[in-house]
Amino acid sequence: MNAVEFPWLTTIVLLPLVATLPIPLIPDKEGKTVRWYGLGIAIADFALMIYALWQNYDFQSSTFQLVESYPWVPQLNLNWSLALDGLSMPLILLTGLINTLAIFAAWKVTNKPRLFYGLMLAMYSAQLGVFLAQDLLLFFLMWEIELVPVYLLISIWGGQKRQYAATKFILYTAAASIFILIAGFAIAFSGDSVTFDMATLGMKQYPKAIEMLAYAGFLIAFGVKLPIFPLHTWLPDAHGEASAPGSMILAGVLLKMGGYALIRINMEMLPNAHVYFAPVLAILGVVNIVYGACCAFAQTNLKRRLAYSSIAHMGFVLIGIASYTEIGMSGAVLQMLSHGLIAASLFFLSGVTYERTHTLMMEKMGGMAKVMPRTFAVFTAGAMASLALPGMSGFVGELMVFLGIASSDVYSSSFKVVVVLLSAVGVILTPIYLLSMLRQVFYGKQNQELHLDATLPDIKPRELFITACLLLPIIGIGFYPKLATQTYEVKAVEVATHARQVLPVFASQQPSSLYSRIFTSPTLADSQVESLVDIAE
C-alpha cells in the first residue's frame, strides 16, 4: 500500500478514540502517566495530520481529496465516508492544535484523571469526524458523540454551578440535534433515490417547501452551536463553569462546527433556500455583534465576559456567509480560524489567573500587573487580538467580512449601509469592554482581600509555551494573511460562485416583494441569466 492509498483520514479520526481503550489498564496512581499518555496521543495525531496533508494535499484544488468510503451499515445506507477540501482542511488543523494544547493545559487535573483524558481524546476524535464526514448520517453520529464528553467534562470538572451549566448545555444541543436528523431524512428521502451522501444531496433538486423547511431545521441546529441569538444562552453558563481546557475547546473548536456546517450543508447543499435566508443571516449577524458586545460590557465574571465576546465575534461569520462575495466568504472562514486561536488563548489565560486568585470576579481583582507582569503582557496581547488590532488575525478577518458585505452587488445600498453601520457599533464597543476588563484585573490598586496563592508565581514556562503556540499564528496571520487564506481560498471562491448562480433566477421570480427591495440584480450577462432560468425551469 503506497502513501496515497493509505487511509490517512480514518487513522486520524480513530486514533484518539481507539487510544482511550487502554487507559483503564495503565498503571498509574496520581495521573502522571495518564496525562503523558494523553498528550502523546494528541501530539502523534496532530503530527500525523500535518504529515498527511503536507504529502498529499493540493492547495490549488477545490475538489475533495484523500477520499475514503467504506460500506458500514448497508441496511441503513450508512457509509464510513471521509474527505477534506479547503473548507475542512484548516479547521481540522485548528482542531488538532487546540485539543493538543488543551490536554497540555490540563496538566494539574488530579480528580479522575483516567476519565478526564479519555473524554478529551474521545471528544477530539468526534470533532475531527464532524469536519471530515461526507455521509450525513455519519456527520450526525459524530455530532452526537461529541456532546457526551463535553457534558461530562463540565459536570464533573466544572465550577460550583457545573450541574446547571452542563444540563443546560446538553438540553440545548441535544434538542437542536433532532432538527439535524429530521431535516437530514427529509432531503435524503426526497426524490426518486434515497441517499445520505452529501455530494449527491447537493446535486438534488428539492421542492421549495422541503428545501425551505430543511434549511430552517439545519439553521436552528447549527445556530445553537454557533451560537446565534436567541439560541445562545447556554454558552455563557457553560464557559462560566467549565475548566480552562474545556473552555478552550468550547470556544476554539465547538463554535466553529456550527459555522462550518452552515457553509457545508445550508449554503452548499441548499442554495435555493439560502437566497431567502441570507438576509436573515446578515441581520442575525448584526444582532449577535451588537447584543454580544453590550452583554459583554455588563459582565463582572471574567469568563462570562469572554463568552459574550465570542457570541459577538461569531456574528461576523454570519455576515460573511450571507455576503455572496468571495472576499466575504473568505473572511468568514478566516474569522472562524482567528477566533478559535484568540478565544482559546484568552480562556486559557483566564484559567491561569483563576489558579492564582481563586476567583473570576473582576471587581475582586486589581493591581495584578505588578504581581504577574508576564501574565499581564500575554493577556494584553490576546485582548488586543480580540479587539481586532491591526497586525493581528482578528483585524484581517473582520476587515474582509466588512469589505465582502459592503462590495456585494446582490443587496441594495440601504440594506448594506444598515448592516455595516450597526456592525461598526459592535466593533466600537469591543475595545471598550476588553480594555475595561484589563483595567479591572491588572491596573489600579491590588484588592487587599485578594489572597494570591504564594505557591503559584507568575506564568510558568509550560503555560507560556501554550500561550505562545496560540499567539504566534495570530500574529503571523495578522502580518501575512496568506498563511491561512491559501489553504481555503480556492474553495471559498467555488462556494461563493455556486451560491450566486441561484440569484438571477430568484430575482426574476420576485418582481415585487420585501426581498426585491433588499436584493439587487447581480452582475451577470443577459445570456447567463436566461440560461440559468431555463435550467431552473
Q: 414 is written with which cell numbers?
A: 440601504
The pLDDT score that the predictor gives to residue 525 is 39
Residue listed under C-alpha cell 482559546: 344
Model confidence at 193, pLDDT cuts 50, 70, 90, reads: confident
The mean pLDDT value for 467-474 works out to 96
Residue 516 lies in a domain: no
The pLDDT score that the predictor gives to residue 433 is 92
Residue 426 lies in a domain: yes
Residue 517 lies in a domain: no
Model confidence at 512, pLDDT cuts 50, 70, 90, reads: very low
Q: 458 is written with which cell numbers?
A: 507568575
Model confidence at 170, pLDDT cuts 50, 70, 90, reads: very high
Q: What is the mean pLDDT of the chain?
A: 88
The mean pLDDT value for 475-488 works out to 93
- Of 323 and 515, the one with more pLDDT: 323
Number of separate domains in the chain = 1
The mean pLDDT value for 498-519 works out to 64
Residue 527 lies in a domain: no
Q: How far is CA 274 from CA 219, 269, 288, 497, 500, in A?
A: 10, 9, 19, 13, 10
- The Cα 422–Cα 426 span in angstroms is 7
The pLDDT score that the predictor gives to residue 523 is 44
Nearest alpha-carbon partner for 177 in 137, 213, 125, 207? 137
Q: What is the pLDDT of residues 103-147, one digit of tens each?
A: 999 988 888 889 999 999 999 999 999 999 999 999 999 999 999
Range of the domain at 256: 8-507
Decide if 408 contacts 323 (C-beta within 8 A). yes
Question: Half-sphere exposure of 255 toward its Cβ, with a 13 Å CA cutoff?
Answer: 42
Residue 519 lies in a domain: no
Q: Give the SS3 label for residue 290.
A: helix
Residue 133 lies in a domain: yes
The mean pLDDT value for 495-501 works out to 87
Residue 537 lies in a domain: no
Nearest alpha-carbon partner for 205 in 270, 144, 158? 270
> Within a 10 A sphere around the Cβ of 1, how many other Cβ atoms?
6
What pTM was estimated for this model as a whole?
0.92
